[in-house]
A and B are shown apart, each in its own frame.
Chain A
């Protein structure tokens, strides 16, 4: 890597997000459409930081009722018991299946929280013009993108518990209000990861040589 490193944006080029064809539009702010596949061209995602912030804040707000409100209401012999997400984890742990308790704890509590923290960290470092740890930050983004879907786990657990326990004569199970907020957290964080543009991490480095690490 002795030659100067150019990004497509610095060379006046726009890469098509669908087919990767490089175009040289007359203006990079309004690049038009890809000549090969017809996709709308964008040098960077439109209003990436603003959109991601909005979605992350909305998800953080929903995260509170998602954990405080019950996700599952179990009625057995006239007595109703309300379980929150952490309550469900405690139940699994108490019933002796600690590996499953750990999986649910990771998927429902740590992944959503970790995603929010990671996205906030990425956006703050971009807004402060940081040029350190670019490679690690890009990897962090890729992890957020890949594992995000797993936080849907508890929504499926609730749905199939409810669907199966209906015909029981003595016990009935209903979803609690928390499940809606929890589903909202999953959708909002997935949309936030999608609107985030990892190329912004590298834009501050400008024409400088990449940090080899």
Chain B
């Protein structure tokens, strides 16, 4: 069974059906003919938009992590907490694993996702983009899955309502920064045209071939 395969051929990631991808106009996406999952999408925004969003997100991420999320005052005493403070307190209270999980899903994973995306988007401006952008994108996807800022936000809201009976609670700057991040973080990948990046990327195969030929050249000159 021989099937003709060219650069427009694609296998559905969810059901493995082979199909030809039609040329996509800006702002459209293609769905699998059999299972309906999204095969490819072409964002409509300008090419530098994801980079701009990533830079904004990195700055917001910094603010979200150093400023207090919320303050609490009761009987003349005040307390405030940051994201890392929430994780650290769990560690102190005898739940180190849960503390580590919170730190990972609310600080480390979003931070890693943003750093990988920033480096990737800067590298993608080179022609051709280096082949390691593929690895960066892979890692960014993994960390995005484990970054749970929106879940944390809802969790904080529930906690606040529970505490509101005992004390008066105020939202801090960190809270507004987290709000902004929840919008900014997914928008980086949504506005980023990954298929266009793959069409320009420097193939691992070619890079390896080049390295062997330069290696041979060096050996030649040393002789």
Decide whether A and B assemble into one complex: yes
Q: Name A residues whose Cβ lies closer than 8 Å to a Cβ of B.
A: 1, 5-13, 15, 17-22, 24, 33-39, 88, 91-92, 95, 97, 100, 103-104, 107, 134-135, 138-139, 141-142, 149-150, 152-169, 171, 174-175, 179-180, 183, 187, 190, 194, 198-199, 201-203, 210
B112 to chain A: closest CB distance in Å? 16
- Bound: A37/B137 CA distance, A: 10
User: Across the interface, do B3 and A38 meet the contact criterion of CB distance under 8 Å?
Assistant: no
Q: Out of B89, B152, B154, name the residue touching A103 (CB < 8 Å).
A: B154
Residue B1 at the chain A interface, CB threshold 8 Å: yes
CA A174 to CA B94, docked complex, whole Å: 9
State whether B72 touches A8 (Cβ < 8 A).
no
Q: Interface size on B (CB < 8 Å)? A: 72
Kindly state whether residue B105 has any CB partner on chain A within 8 Å.
yes
Question: Does A20 lie within 8 Å of B198, measured CB to CB?
Answer: yes
The 10 A-B pairs with the shortest beta carbon distances in the complex, nearest first, are: A156-B155, A37-B134, A8-B11, A15-B11, A167-B79, A7-B16, A38-B204, A163-B89, A11-B3, A160-B159
Q: A37-B135, A38-B131 are in contact. Are A160 and B11 (CB under 8 A)?
A: no
Q: Which residue of A lies closest to B72 (CB)?
A: A164
Task: Establish whether residues A92 and B161, one from each chain, have CB atoms under 8 Å apart when the complex forms.
Answer: yes
Q: Are A162 and B90 in contact, CB atoms less than 8 angstroms apart? A: yes
A9 pairs with B16, CB closer than 8 A: yes
**Number of A-B residue pairs having CB atoms within 8 Å of each other in the complex:** 232
Q: Which B19-63 residues have a C-beta within 8 angstroms of A?
A: 33-37
Produce 1/0 per residue, B60-86, CB < 8 A to A: 000000000110101101110100011
A142 & B37 in contact (Cβ 8 Å cutoff): yes
Contact status of A156 and B89, CB under 8 A, knowing A35-B203, A168-B166: no
Given A13-B11, A153-B151, the answer on whether A8 and B16 have CB atoms closer than 8 Å is yes
Residues A15 and B13 in contact, CB atoms below 8 Å apart: yes
A153 to chain B: which residues have CB within 8 Å? Answer: 151, 154-155, 158
Task: Give chain B nearest CB distance to A84 CB in angstroms.
Answer: 15
11 contacting pairs across A/B (C-beta < 8 A): A34-B134, A36-B131, A138-B37, A152-B151, A157-B158, A157-B162, A159-B98, A160-B81, A165-B166, A171-B166, A174-B93
